[in-house]
C-alpha cells in the first residue's frame, strides 16, 4: 500500500524536475490535503449528527423544569442530582436489561459457535450457500420476525401445546408476555451479529490443528476447549459485544413479547422522551446506559486481551 503511494510520489517528482519550487510545493500540499478532503464530509456528518447530539444529551441531563413552565420546557440548571434520583428509581430496570442481555448473549453464543464451526469445517462446497442461509432470515423485517415469535409462543401455538403435552408446562402456564419470551426474542433477533464474527474467526484457523490435537490424545471436547476456542477468541469477543450492546438497549422485544414486569431501560427512555416528555430523566438514563456499556466494553476487551478491536 505505502509502496504504491511511494511509487506515485516518485513519479510526480520525475514529471516535474524542472518545475518551479512553488509548483512542487503546491503538489506536496495538495497531497497532504488529500486525506483531510476525503475525511471532511463524512466526519463532519458524524461530528454534527453523532458527537454533538451526545453532548446535547449530556446538557439535557442536568436541566430542570422551571416552576410554572409548560410541559416540555426545560432550562439548564446543572442539577447533577438528576443522576442519583433517576438511577435509583430505575436501578431494577437497569439490572433487568443487563440481565436479559447477558442471558441472551450466552444463549446466542451457545447456538452460534457450533453452527459457525460446522459451516467453516464440515460444509464443504455448501459453505457459501449456508452462510447466505444464516443471514437470510434477517432479510425479513425485524418487527415482523418478533411478531412471528409472538405467534409461535402464543397460548394456542404448537410450542406451548407440545410443552403442555409433555408436562413441562402446567395447564395454566404461558410463555408469551413473560421474561423468557423477551429473552427468546432478543436471542433470535441479534444472532447474525454473533454468528458472522465467530465464523470469520474460526474460518481462519487451520483445520488440521484439530487433527494434531487428536493425534496428541485430546478428545473432541478437549481439543475444542483448549485449541479451537482460544484461537477463535477474537471472533467470540467481537460477537458477544455486537450482541450484548444492541440487546441491552433494545425495547422492541420487551414491548411485543413482554409484560409490565419485563420493562427494559429502552422502554423507559422511549416513554420518558416521547410520551411523558420528561427529557432530563430520559437523557440521564441514556447517558448512564451509554457509560455503563462503554465501561463494560472496555473491561471486557482488556480481560479478553484483544485490544486491537478498538
Q: Which residues, numbered 159-218, are part of the site for another protein (CB under 8 A)?
A: 188, 191
Type and span of the H or E element at 4: helix 2-15
Q: Phi then psi for 222, rounded to 5 degrees?
A: -65, -45
String marking each residue 101-120 x if it binds another protein according to CB under 8 A? ----------x--xx-xxx-
Burial of 44 (0-12, 13-18, 19+ CB in 10 A): exposed
Burial of 25 (0-12, 13-18, 19+ CB in 10 A): exposed
* Positions 18 through 57 that interact with another protein (CB under 8 A): 34-36, 38-39, 41-43, 45-47, 49-54, 56-57
| Stretch of 87-95, 141-149, 208-216, 229-237 contacting another protein, by CB under 8 A | 141-149
- Helical residues (DSSP H) of 220-308, grouped into ranges: 220-223, 229-231, 233-249, 252-257, 265-274, 279-304
Cβ distance to another protein smaller for residue 160 or 283? 283
Q: Which of 83, 229, 273, 300 binds another protein (CB under 8 A)?
A: 273
Cα-based distances in Å from 70 to 18, 60, 67, 73, 77: 73, 16, 9, 6, 17
Residue 227 touching another protein (CB under 8 A): no
Residue 246 touching another protein (CB under 8 A): yes
Residue 73 touching another protein (CB under 8 A): no
Number of amino acids touching another protein (CB under 8 A): 89
Query: What is the smallest separation between the CB atom of 3 and another protein, expressed in angstroms?
Result: 6
Residue 262 touching another protein (CB under 8 A): no
Cβ distance to another protein smaller for residue 46 or 91? 46
Q: Which of 140, 162, 209, 216 binds another protein (CB under 8 A)?
A: 140
Residue 276 touching another protein (CB under 8 A): no
Q: Is the Cα torsion angle 299, 303, 304, 307 positive or negative in sign?
A: positive
Query: What is the smallest separation between the CB atom of 143 and another protein, expressed in angstroms?
Result: 4
Cβ distance to another protein smaller for residue 179 or 238? 238
| Stretch of 84-92, 131-139, 167-175, 201-209 contacting another protein, by CB under 8 A | 131-139
- Helical residues (DSSP H) of 166-228, grouped into ranges: 179-189, 191-203, 208-215, 220-223
Cβ distance to another protein smaller for residue 115 or 170? 115
Q: Which residues pair with 202 in a beta bridge?
A: none
Residue 279 touching another protein (CB under 8 A): yes
Q: Which of 8, 29, 66, 84 binds another protein (CB under 8 A)?
A: 8
DSSP 49-101: IIIHHHHHHHHHTTEEPPTTPPTT--EE---TTHHHHHHHHTHHHHHHHHHHH
In 3D space, the residue among 258, 107, 277, 55 whose CA is nearest the CA of residue 175 turns out to be 258
Cβ distance to another protein smaller for residue 4 or 170? 4
Q: Which residues does 272 contact at the CB level (< 8 Å), separation at least 6? A: 278, 279, 281, 282, 285
Query: What is the smallest separation between the CB atom of 112 and another protein, expressed in angstroms?
Result: 8
Residue 142 touching another protein (CB under 8 A): yes
Amino acid at each position: 500500500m505505502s509502496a504504491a503511494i511511494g511509487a506515485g510520489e516518485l513519479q510526480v517528482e520525475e514529471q516535474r524536475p524542472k518545475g518551479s519550487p512553488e509548483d512542487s510545493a503546491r503538489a506536496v500540499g495538495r497531497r497532504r490535503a488529500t486525506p483531510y478532503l476525503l475525511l471532511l464530509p463524512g466526519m463532519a456528518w458524524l461530528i454534527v449528527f453523532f458527537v454533538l447530539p451526545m453532548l446535547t444529551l449530556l446538557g439535557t441531563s442536568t436541566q430542570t423544569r422551571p416552576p410554572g413552565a409548560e410541559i416540555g420546557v426545560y432550562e439548564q440548571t446543572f442539577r447533577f442530582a438528576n443522576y442519583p434520583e433517576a438511577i435509583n428509581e430505575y436501578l431494577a430496570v437497569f439490572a433487568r436489561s443487563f440481565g436479559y442481555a447477558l442471558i441472551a448473549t450466552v444463549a446466542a453464543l451457545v447456538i452460534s459457535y457450533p453452527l459457525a464451526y460446522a459451516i467453516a469445517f464440515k460444509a464443504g462446497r455448501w459453505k457459501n450457500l449456508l452462510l447466505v442461509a444464516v443471514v437470510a432470515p434477517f432479510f425479513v423485517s425485524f418487527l415482523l420476525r418478533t411478531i412471528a415469535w409472538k405467534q409461535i409462543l402464543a397460548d394456542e401455538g404448537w410450542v406451548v401445546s407440545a410443552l403442555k403435552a409433555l408436562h413441562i408446562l402446567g395447564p395454566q402456564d404461558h410463555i408469551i408476555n413473560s421474561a423468557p419470551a423477551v429473552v427468546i426474542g432478543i436471542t433470535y433477533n441479534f444472532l447474525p451479529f454473533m454468528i458472522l464474527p465467530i465464523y470469520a474467526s474460526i474460518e481462519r484457523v487451520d483445520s488440521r490443528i484439530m487433527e494434531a490435537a487428536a493425534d496428541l490424545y485430546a478428545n473432541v471436547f478437549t481439543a475444542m476447549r483448549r485449541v479451537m476456542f482460544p484461537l477463535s477468541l477474537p471472533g467470540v469477543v467481537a460477537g458477544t459485544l455486537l450482541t450484548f450492546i444492541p440487546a441491552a438497549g433494545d425495547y422492541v422485544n420487551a414491548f411485543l413479547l413482554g409484560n409490565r414486569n419485563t420493562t427494559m431501560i429502552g422502554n423507559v427512555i422511549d416513554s420518558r422522551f416521547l410520551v411523558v416528555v420528561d427529557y432530563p430523566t430520559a437523557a440521564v438514563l441514556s447517558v448512564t446506559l451509554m457509560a455503563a456499556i462503554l465501561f463494560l466494553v472496555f473491561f471486557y476487551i482488556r480481560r479478553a486481551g484483544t485490544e486491537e478491536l478498538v
